[in-house]
Amino acid sequence: MYVQLAITGVSMGMLYALMAMGLILIVKAVGVLNFAHGQLFMLGAYITWMLTYQVNLPVWGVALCGLVCFAICGAVYMFTCYWPLRKSPWKVTVIISTLGASIAIKELVRLIWGSIPLTMEPIIPGVIRIGTAYLSYQYLFIIVIGGGLMAGVYILFERSFIGKIMQATAQDRYAANLVGIPTGVAILCTYMISLSLSGIGGWLAAPLFLVSQSLGNLAQKAFAGIVLGGFGSVKGAIVGCILIGLIESFSIIITDSYKDAIVFLVLILVLIIRPTGIFGEKIAEKA
């Protein structure tokens, strides 16, 4: 049982980490938490379902067209929910805008695709057995693809020029503007990458959890992972989410009904001991 719980925990943690990466990118770019991220994850699942079953594309076609669609969605989302409010003196207006977007996206999806949950075949069907434990090939796919994306995001941000521009914009937009960095383009790229990550996450999660409007509820654990790992740290978000996945999985040994309560209790305890999270850095603002 413990092997099975560990495998499940890591698999779910990778899924949460995919969502968390996209969230962190937007937090770093514009400084607000995107409360519509779960619904964007869900939208990714619906878009890939549409490409697979209504447009009838092969897997590689779904991946390519899906990325294009997610990037377009990212641009549309940025221009509707962030750009008009970017100069507002209160950051909370952008947050409220994302809350509204989350409701709107959920109901838009219902209007387009209906309310009945949809099924998506796994990319690779079947399970692999490791003794008494088993791992669905889809979970294995998530771990591999998730790992690849994490490496890709790391290389993009740490080793590429575009990544450095995006980091500069995220750290100090005013200074970035002063040195001639097109911050608007950098923010747009961040949104497009963020939504691509969440869209891919939705595509990978859909065969496991059905394509439904409640798929976005998985974002709650991604939020918890980000906070646990250290707000603003991509590495922290990944580690935090995997920890959340493992805690969630192993908490079944203690209780089945209050699994989620245990996850958030552990989160609170960690924050009491280390308020900045596991990898978070203490940042003090000078007067």
Partner 1 sequence: MKRLLLFILSVLMLLCAVSVALAEDPIYIGVLDAFTGDRASSGDYAKEGADLAMEHINAKGGVLGRKLELIYEDDQGNESAATNAFQKITAEHDLAAVCLSKYSSIVLAMEQFVADEGIPAICCGSSPRLETSKTPNLFSSRRSDTGSGVTIANYCNQLGMKRVAILHAPDALGTGMAPVLQAQFEKLGIETVSVQQFSPDEKNFAPYIAKIVDSNCDGIVSMAQQAEAALIMIAVKEAGLDVPCVGSSAFAQQIAIQNSAGACEGWYSVSPFSPTAQEEPTKSWIAEYTEKYGRKPDMGSACMYDAVMLFCQAIEATNSTEYDDIINYLKTLKDVPGIASTYSYNGTPMLATAEFIVQIKDNASVVVSVVKN
Of 249, 277, 279, 280, which one interacts with partner 1 (CB under 8 A)?
A: 249
Q: What are phi and psi of 126, to 5 degrees?
A: 100, 175
- The tokens for 33 are 């938490």
Q: Is 99 a binder of partner 1 (CB under 8 A)?
A: no
Helix 234-250 vs helix 219-229: crossing angle, to nearest 10: 120
How many CB atoms sit inside 10 A of residue 128's CB? 13
Q: Is 128 a binder of partner 1 (CB under 8 A)?
A: no
Q: Is 5 a binder of partner 1 (CB under 8 A)?
A: yes
What is the longest distance spanned by two Cα atoms in the chain?
60
Of 159, 174, 180, 257, which one interacts with partner 1 (CB under 8 A)?
A: 257
Q: Minimal distance in Å, beta carbon 81 to partner 1?
A: 21
Contact assessment for residue 197 and residue 154, using Cβ atoms and an 8 Å cutoff: no
Of 110, 164, 235, 274, which one interacts with partner 1 (CB under 8 A)?
A: 110
Contact assessment for residue 278 and residue 228, using Cβ atoms and an 8 Å cutoff: yes
Which residues, numbered 10-39, are part of the site for partner 1 (CB under 8 A)? 12
Distance CA 267, CA 173 (A): 31
Q: Is 140 a binder of partner 1 (CB under 8 A)?
A: no
- The tokens for 35 are 């409360």
Q: Is 248 a binder of partner 1 (CB under 8 A)?
A: yes
Q: Is 121 a binder of partner 1 (CB under 8 A)?
A: yes
Q: Which of the stretches 3-11, 144-152, 171-179, 269-277 binds partner 1 when contact is defined by CB under 8 A?
A: 3-11
Q: Which of the stretches 19-27, 47-55, 59-67, 124-132 binds partner 1 when contact is defined by CB under 8 A?
A: 124-132
Size of the site for partner 1 (CB under 8 A): 37
Q: Is 54 a binder of partner 1 (CB under 8 A)?
A: no
**Which residues are registered as beta bridge partners of 211?**
118
User: Which residues touch 283 (CB under 8 Å, ≥6 apart)?
Assistant: none
For residue 208, count CB atoms less than 10 angstroms from its CB and return exposed for 0-12, middle for 13-18, buried for 19 or more: middle
Q: Is 119 a binder of partner 1 (CB under 8 A)?
A: yes
Q: Which of the stretches 18-26, 113-121, 173-181, 231-239 binds partner 1 when contact is defined by CB under 8 A?
A: 113-121
Of 210, 266, 271, 278, which one interacts with partner 1 (CB under 8 A)?
A: 210
- The tokens for 87 are 């100069």
**Mapping DSSP to helix (H, G, I), strand (E, B) and coil, where does residue 243 land?**
helix
Q: Is 92 a binder of partner 1 (CB under 8 A)?
A: no
Q: Is 213 a binder of partner 1 (CB under 8 A)?
A: yes
Contact assessment for residue 188 and residue 78, using Cβ atoms and an 8 Å cutoff: yes
Distance CA 235, CA 126 (A): 31
Of 104, 259, 266, 270, which one interacts with partner 1 (CB under 8 A)?
A: 259
Of 4, 167, 177, 276, which one interacts with partner 1 (CB under 8 A)?
A: 4
Of 58, 84, 117, 152, which one interacts with partner 1 (CB under 8 A)?
A: 117
How many CB atoms sit inside 10 A of residue 148's CB? 10
Q: What does the binding site for partner 1 look like in residue numbers (CB under 8 A)?
A: 1, 4-5, 8, 12, 107, 110, 114-119, 121, 127, 129, 132, 134, 136, 208-210, 212-215, 217-218, 248-249, 252-253, 256-260
